[in-house]
Amino acid sequence: MTAENLNRARAFAKAFHTGEGTGHDWWHIKRVVEQAKLIAQHERNADQLLVQLIGLLHDVPDRKLHSSEDEGQAYLLTWLRSQFDEQQSRRLLQCINEISFKGAGVDDFVSCKEVAIVQDADRLDALGAIGIARAFAYGGKKNRALFDPDIYPEIHLSYEAYKISEGHTINHFYEKLLLLEERMHTETGRQIAHQRTIFMKSFLRQFYNEWGVEWEV
């Protein structure tokens, strides 16, 4: 892995993500890479270049940004093969596939420290004020209601069930966002997640207060 690999990955990711409208735009990628670099400084023996490479590419194969999951995989693999040998390309694709959230009832599996760091950084960007903004941007783009007090959150026991869920955006807080603090791998990530989760809970209390419902936070 060289600085040149990183430069090419940055150009590729920037061209792919610029202007994306569901909160997976280039700014998200930049924030994740910066956050991952900071977390990595506090972790022993983390490969800084690998952290940055995975951070830059982590959302390229996201099924939400392609017409199918397979298409996303093929798109990234083609690019990886243009830069790395077959074994390295497969390994990098596997690392990147480990990062995404697959449901409240599905355990995370990370095969190396660098993936754990980028997963923490990516999840921190789904929390706090920016996390709230991204959730409603995503919901709006998918024509989802902000909230429906008659539709309750579900705990998805499989990735398949999580992928096809179509609830309102407030439910996404219970189905994913409020669960992320517990699932952090690094101490740095856990501390930041804790503060951002407190902020999100106070947002939810205010939201319910304005709506006039008594949902649990």
Q: Where along the sequence are the contacts to Ni ion (CB under 5 A)?
A: 59, 122
Residue 101 is a binding residue for ligand ADP (CB under 6 A) = yes
Q: Which is nearer to ligand ADP, 89 or 100 (CB)?
A: 100
Q: How many CA atoms lie within 13 A of 44 on its CB side?
A: 0
Question: What burial class does residue 23 get, using C-beta atoms within 10 Å of its C-beta: 0-12 exposed, 13-18 middle, 19+ buried?
Answer: buried
Options 17, 172, 185, 196; binder of ligand ADP; rule CB under 6 A: 172
CB 132 within 8 A of CB 200: yes
Supply the DSSP string of 126-146, one letter for each residue.
TSHHHHHHHHHHHHHHTT--S
Binding mask 67-86 for ligand ADP (x = CB under 6 A): --------------------
- Return the closest-CA partner of residue 55 out of 74, 72, 35, 75: 35
Of 159 and 215, the one with the shorter C-beta distance to Ni ion is 159
User: Using the rule CB under 6 A, which residue among 35, 169, 186, 188 binds ligand ADP?
Assistant: 169
Does residue 62 bind ligand ADP (CB under 6 A)?
A: yes
d(CA 160, CA 73): 17
CA distance 34 to 60: 17
Q: Per CB under 6 A, does 135 bind ligand ADP?
A: yes
Contact partner at residue 103 from ligand ADP, Ni ion, none, CB < 5 to 8 Å by partner kind: none
Q: Specify the residue, 81 or 161, whose C-beta has the smaller distance to ligand ADP.
A: 161
* Closest distance to ligand ADP from the beta carbon of 36 (Å): 13
Alpha carbons within 13 A on the beta-carbon side of 198: 5
How many residues bind to ligand ADP according to rule CB under 6 A? 14
